[in-house]
Amino acid sequence: MAVAEAELVKTGQDDLFQLAKGFYTTKALLALWRMGLIERAAKGDLEVDEIAAEQSSDPNLLRPIFDYLVVRGFLERPEPGVYRLTERGANAVPYCGYLSTMVGAYEPVFSHLEDVVRGRLVYGKDVLRSHEEMVRGLTALEDRLMGTVAEVVRGAGASKMMDLGCGSARMLTRICALQDGLQGVGVDRDPNSCAVARETVKDRGLEDRVTILQADAIDVANLPRDVVGGVDMVTVMFLLHETLRQRGRGGTVRLMREIGALVGKNGRLVMVEVSGNPDPKYRENLLFVPEYELLHEYTNQRLAPRPEWEAMVAEAGMSVEQMAPVDMCQAFCLVAKP
């Protein structure tokens, strides 16, 4: 009895410390990511004195976080004051956008989760995720989607593409830049995202081909005709699970139907989404869906499983033409035609 109890306590303690280690390691990596030091480490050594001088910070404040990540296997210290990514660290670099999309962007909500759960803080009124960090994370991950979506747009022979919930508009502008003459319209309801999107368009010299509209995607049928006329391709990347909660299933199907009407019978809807999985039997083996679902529950969004998305597309009077692979866990790219 006593032995069993002792074992139980030990197991429970190990378990909790394991979780705490994950938390501290994540926070340390997130801090470096936000400071731009992970990309920098991917290009060369991190020299504490040099970084401290550039950032007008104290080297003694930088060293502990680097040393901690040495202990956790992400950095090594070839000589005093110099840090370098280990193989483990280097392997994590292409995925660091997830630090923002899974953790950093939702910190304002999760650092007060008990108040959100008790209803003392209401998402959208008292707390909001960080749009800026969400967009930054997705931007860092865009290469994982880019090939698939660009290929679909090219294959469909689109002449004018509209990206609903365009965020930073990096995807939209990259695709337009790849295809001569392809016109673009980016729509986002968040003013900060629109400001970033306009900067992106300007930086890429695409002002003559790409327009950014600040509007609610749900009002797609009422967007100015002079801007959206001729759109024959609509992309929605990680937006529809937001409208699913904002406007419900009926509102989302209506939006899809209106997209179908806008693009016409030769046009296409391309949606990229993460498939939720309602079956508890599979959930714990999925790389990120349980956590991703949890954060959506408290931030006015709802993930749906892939068959439900397919059913909604059908209800909206469209057929699924293609299901293209996306290099992102549990994400899919669905191409539908009216």
Q: Least separation, in Å, of the C-beta of 216 and ligand SAM?
A: 4
Nearer to ligand SAM, 51 or 166 (CB): 166
Nearer to ligand SAM, 96 or 171 (CB): 171
Neighbours of 315 (CB within 10 A): 15
One of 100, 173, 243, 277 touching ligand SAM (CB under 6 A): 243
- Scanning 62-70, 115-123, 185-193, 315-323 for contacts with ligand SAM by CB under 6 A, the matching segment is 185-193
Tokens matching residue 175: 């695709």
Nearer to ligand SAM, 41 or 196 (CB): 196
Nearer to ligand SAM, 12 or 250 (CB): 250
Q: Least separation, in Å, of the C-beta of 212 and ligand SAM?
A: 11
One of 28, 127, 212, 239 touching ligand SAM (CB under 6 A): 239
Nearer to ligand SAM, 333 or 336 (CB): 333
One of 34, 72, 112, 131 touching ligand SAM (CB under 6 A): 131
Burial class (CB in 10 A: 0-12, 13-18, 19+), 161: buried
Q: Least separation, in Å, of the C-beta of 150 and ligand SAM?
A: 13
Burial class (CB in 10 A: 0-12, 13-18, 19+), 320: middle
**134 binds ligand SAM per the rule CB under 6 A:** yes
Strand, coil or helix: 74: coil
- Scanning 4-12, 89-97, 176-184, 242-250 for contacts with ligand SAM by CB under 6 A, the matching segment is 242-250
Site string (188-227) toward ligand SAM, x via CB under 6 A: xxx--x----------------------xxx---------
Looking at residue 223, its amino acid is: L
Question: What distance in Å separates the CA atoms of residue 223 and residue 128, rounded to the nearest whole number?
Answer: 26
Element (H, E) at 82: strand 82-85
Site string (145-164) toward ligand SAM, x via CB under 6 A: --------------------
Q: Least separation, in Å, of the C-beta of 98 and ligand SAM?
A: 13
Q: Least separation, in Å, of the C-beta of 329 and ligand SAM?
A: 15
Q: Least separation, in Å, of the C-beta of 141 and ligand SAM?
A: 8
Question: What distance in Å separates the CA atoms of residue 231 and residue 259, rounded to the nearest whole number?
Answer: 10
**242 binds ligand SAM per the rule CB under 6 A:** yes
Nearer to ligand SAM, 72 or 189 (CB): 189
**165 binds ligand SAM per the rule CB under 6 A:** yes
Strand, coil or helix: 223: coil
Tokens matching residue 194: 């629109």
CA 240-241-244 angle, to 5 degrees, is 85
- Closest of 110, 112, 128, 139 to residue 33, by C-alpha: 139
Q: 238 CB contacts (<8 Å, ≥6 apart)? A: 138, 165, 272, 273, 274
- Closest of 188, 26, 195, 21 to residue 100, by C-alpha: 26
- Distances 129 to 79, 90, 290, 309 between C-alpha atoms, Å: 40, 28, 18, 25
Evaluate the CA torsion angle 324, 326, 332, 333 in order and state its sign: negative
Interface positions, 57-86, toward ligand SAM (CB under 6 A): none
Strand, coil or helix: 149: helix
**238 binds ligand SAM per the rule CB under 6 A:** yes
**Contacting residues toward ligand SAM, per CB under 6 A:** 131, 134, 138, 165-167, 171, 187-190, 193, 216-218, 237-239, 242-243, 246
